[in-house]
Structure 1
Amino acid sequence: MTRPSTRAVLAPLSGAIALTLLTGAAPAKPTTQWLARPSEAARVAKVEAGLTPLTLPGEAPVALSLQEWMALYGIPGLSIAVFDRGELVWAKAYGVKQAGGDAPVTLDTRFQAASISKPVTALAALHHAEANKWSLDEDVNTRLVSWKVPENDLTREQKVTLRRLLSHTAGLTVHGFRGYAAAAGEPVPTLKQILDGEKPANSSPIRVDILPGSRFRYSGGGFTVVQQLLEDQLHKPFARVMQETVLTPLGMKDSSFEQPLPAAIAQRAATGTRDGGESVKGGVHVYPEQAAAGLWTTPSDLARLALEVSKAAQGKSRRLLSQAMAKQLLTRQPPGTFGLGFGLPGGTRFAHGGANEGFRATLLADSATGSGVAVMTNSDNGSLVFERILASVAAAYAWKDYTTPAESPWVTADLIARRRGVDATIAWFRAERAARPTEQLSPDVLNEMGYILLKSDRKDEALKVFEANVSIFPENANAHDSLGEAYLKVGRKAEAAASYRKSLALDPKNANAVKVLEQLGAATK
């Protein structure tokens, strides 16, 4: 089955002013805090006023403020930093740190950066590779001490190297991690338990199952191996390695890889929020997979990091990397589309997104111009506003060659559901499918919506969406599998078994269907 992917005292800027404004939100009235050069005030207003309007089929476009978009998507808090021509020019914070609370997000409120941890880790790994003369192309098992990548026929033919780990081409398993609700009593595994997939780890063993160097496949597991390598070679805890190597040298004073955060720092952290608006169990998840997902930070600190990468690439700084190494960092590593840690969306831009439980973040920068933006939110829905914010910043700062992606069918379907209800979404989807059959509308659109509704305990609406999906896509095995899961959630076991059997008939390799049918004591045919 496919589940949804979804999406204080301030240090002043040079010549900057700090202003505090009331949002007027009821019943709580959190402040919207921002910091900007006086000359930027007009462009800040332009960014806020320039968000792509809400456009639904059959309706005139409606302009919404950022706060209104946040309310529509149930995003409690958001923080943004914009940098231009090599300098951080403004930062602003909106909303509250916890859903239902009144403590405002401030410029030093820490969010989970999630997978943006990976390029930050890459900077540290490349710095130490240069300093200690590690080859990016040697077998990492020659550097690993307390654990080694298990050998098999694939690794005997091609080796797992640091270059391949940082560019997601090492052939390692485990896409991402869901963390641990430690505050709610869930046990947290050691790094070695995670690497070997041993309880209480909730992820599979990290192993090579694709020929190293043969193709790109995103792997949080690969960065967990990098975490072990840095600890083995430097004889320090990973959080300390990152603090000494990257965070302190770059002045990232509101950042830490400590998991969990110490109590004094945790008071300034946001609480994660699920799709349905409730807080993450225990407030936040703990990520012992620090290299892959463990960074707590602010948009302003991410801006400082991106500015350093740009300066290194331009030969204007060697605080972390030489210009030659920075250029390797920002060069696509074959056969993939990533550099060494960063995604490279085109031109001289580099980027990465992040998605932890209850948090979403994005970072986009241009190494040639020293411009970019970082946005962080405490909501699973945070990514739904990112494209609008990026497009508005790009327009306000006249970024060249920036193309706003067309609104996806998923975004349209989701907006219809929020404004008109689930029935209207299903009707629109059926009409689109009938009108444009060659465009191959994906069953994943309704499938993802169904799971979000299911997680929000809106079971009746979820069932309606899953049932519509199998009606529209009767030959899609995953749609039937997901409908079976929904039936199980509401206790309709006979119908669940029928759905799983249909899924298995369409896809005989569906191990999940076999497993559930066995648990139900139901026949597979």
Structure 2
Amino acid sequence: MERYHVPGLSIALIHDRQIHMAKGFGVLEAGTDHKVDSDTIFNACSISKFVTAMLVMKLVDQGFLDLDEDINNILTSWKLPYSKLIQSNKVTLRTLLSHQSGVVDPEGSFGEFDPTQGIPTMVDLLEGRTPYCKESIKVMYKPGSDFQYSDIGFCIIQQAIEDVLGQSFEEIMNELVFEPLNMKSSLIMRSADVKFSQKISCGHQSNGDLVSSKYPFYPYPAAVGVWTSPSDLARLVIELMYSLHGTSQLGISPRTSKEMITSQGGKVWAGLGLFLDSSNHEVEISSLGWGVGYQCMMIAYPYLRSGAVIMTNTDLGVHQMKGIIGEIVNSLEW
């Protein structure tokens, strides 16, 4: 941590579908003595997409959503504009979750929260009426024909979930995922939540200095808005493992959970809300989080019942596997 200028780090290891070890190292904020522990909260950044995908799977099994239904049949408060690109190939939750929907993030979009601009509604964002996304969203290529990593796709998913259930995404996530799994260190960050700073880790630059906004966050919960601890994320990974064997706490069926870890659209690395690899014939799932002041990683082998979640309060400016997270992952024995 000294070599990489990382003030704080926390890790949870999964063995035999249990949290085998959870421990924090360092401090919440450089120059202080506020220690990181196993309950310290970090910005999950894009690991939020895995969390959102688990919520979608629950809603699919409850009959609220269908992975392969035209998303415009689900949305009520906003619709994807019609184009010939979606005449025969529809945008669906499946293509949105696997980043193959045809929507593309506009250049310069999805910056961190700006207190002078406030938190946008998803409709305003999708219509291009906010500084966070200055272009109205439309399909740019035929759904299913290409892979384009997309935050906007998960904003569409968020709006669909809110339209169907008639509640805010935060309320839905708390009620259907965080509370049932006892994820007490998980929240959707709002500007008022800095009052919980005794548990929330501050963001730092690659040289170890504190970032100017201290708790930088993004007002797009489904895409990048979850703040949590490694132990809480490990509980969600364990839930996926149990769901594959028919013993889900959330009620996710083996068939539905298997969809998450199955290659989508001919892209062998693309699952639903996570990424896939293989090692010694065992499927490997992963999700990476990278934002202003933070980096984190989830990696797991669901059929080996093992995994790890590593979160740091520093953006090293290099891929996770080329920094301290990569050193930890490479040292683990699965």
> TM over 0.5: same fold?
yes
Give the 3 Å change call, closer, same or farther, for CA 263–285 of structure 1 in structure 2. Answer: closer
The match for 1:357 is: 292
Aligned residues: 324
Of 318, 336, 340, which residue of structure 1 is paired with 2:272?
340
Which stretches in structure 1 are left out of the alignment for 5+ residues?
Answer: 1-69, 400-525
2:311 maps to 1:373: no
Q: Secondary structure at the match of 1:218?
A: coil
Give the 3 Å change call, closer, same or farther, for CA 187–281 of structure 1 in structure 2. Answer: farther
User: Which one has more relative contact order, counting CA pairs under 8 Å at least 6 apart?
Assistant: 2
Of 192, 217, 221, which residue of structure 2 is paired with 1:286?
217
Give the 3 Å change call, closer, same or farther, for CA 224–102 of structure 1 in structure 2. Answer: same
The answer to whether the 8 Å contact 1:181/1:286 transfers is: no
The answer to whether the 8 Å contact 1:119/1:342 transfers is: yes
The answer to whether the 8 Å contact 2:276/2:286 transfers is: yes
The answer to whether the 8 Å contact 1:111/1:296 transfers is: yes
Of 91, 98, 101, which residue of structure 2 is paired with 1:170?
101
Amino acid at match of 1:390: V
Identity of aligned residues (%): 37
Judging by fraction of residues, say which structure has more strand. Answer: 2
The answer to whether the 8 Å contact 1:260/1:287 transfers is: no
CA distance in structure 1 between the aligned counterparts of 2:124 and 2:77, rounded to whole angstroms: 12
Amino acid at match of 2:111: R
The answer to whether the 8 Å contact 1:299/1:374 transfers is: yes
Q: Deviations over 1:318-369 (max 9, x none)?
A: 5241011011111111132211111112232211000121111100011102
Mapping of residues 165-204 of structure 1, within 5 Å: 165-174=96-105, 177-182=110-115, 185=116, 187-202=118-133, 204=135
The answer to whether the 8 Å contact 2:48/2:222 transfers is: yes
Q: CA deviation at 1:110?
A: 0.4
Which stretches in structure 2 are left out of the alignment for 5+ residues?
Answer: none
Q: CA deviation at 1:114?
A: 0.5
Mapping of residues 81-230 of structure 1, within 5 Å: 81-132=12-63, 134-174=65-105, 177-182=110-115, 185=116, 187-202=118-133, 204-230=135-161
The match for 1:251 is: 182
Amino acid at match of 2:326: E
Q: CA deviation at 1:264?
A: 4.1
Q: CA deviation at 1:115?
A: 0.4
CA distance in structure 2 between the aligned counterparts of 1:103 and 1:156, rounded to whole angstroms: 56
Q: CA deviation at 1:233?
A: 0.6
Q: Secondary structure at the match of 1:80?
A: strand
Aligned-CA RMSD value: 1.8
CA distance in structure 2 between the aligned counterparts of 1:156 and 1:263, rounded to whole angstroms: 46
2:329 maps to 1:390: yes
CA distance in structure 1 between the aligned counterparts of 2:180 and 2:17, rounded to whole angstroms: 17
Amino acid at match of 2:298: L
The answer to whether the 8 Å contact 1:193/1:200 transfers is: no
The match for 1:22 is: none
Q: Secondary structure at the match of 2:235?
A: helix
Give the 3 Å change call, closer, same or farther, for CA 254–328 of structure 1 in structure 2. Answer: same
Q: Secondary structure at the match of 1:92?
A: strand
* TM-score, structure 1 as length reference: 0.59
CA distance in structure 1 between the aligned counterparts of 2:293 and 2:283, rounded to whole angstroms: 31
* TM-score, structure 2 as length reference: 0.92
Give the 3 Å change call, closer, same or farther, for CA 119–212 of structure 1 in structure 2. Answer: same
CA distance in structure 1 between the aligned counterparts of 2:30 and 2:88, rounded to whole angstroms: 51
Q: Secondary structure at the match of 1:132?
A: coil
The answer to whether the 8 Å contact 2:71/2:93 transfers is: yes
The runs of at least 4 consecutive aligned structure 1 residues that moved more than 4 Å come to none
Amino acid at match of 1:364: I
Amino acid at match of 2:112: G
Give the 3 Å change call, closer, same or farther, for CA 388–92 of structure 1 in structure 2. Answer: same
Q: Secondary structure at the match of 2:256?
A: helix
Give the 3 Å change call, closer, same or farther, for CA 202–276 of structure 1 in structure 2. Answer: farther
Amino acid at match of 1:277: G
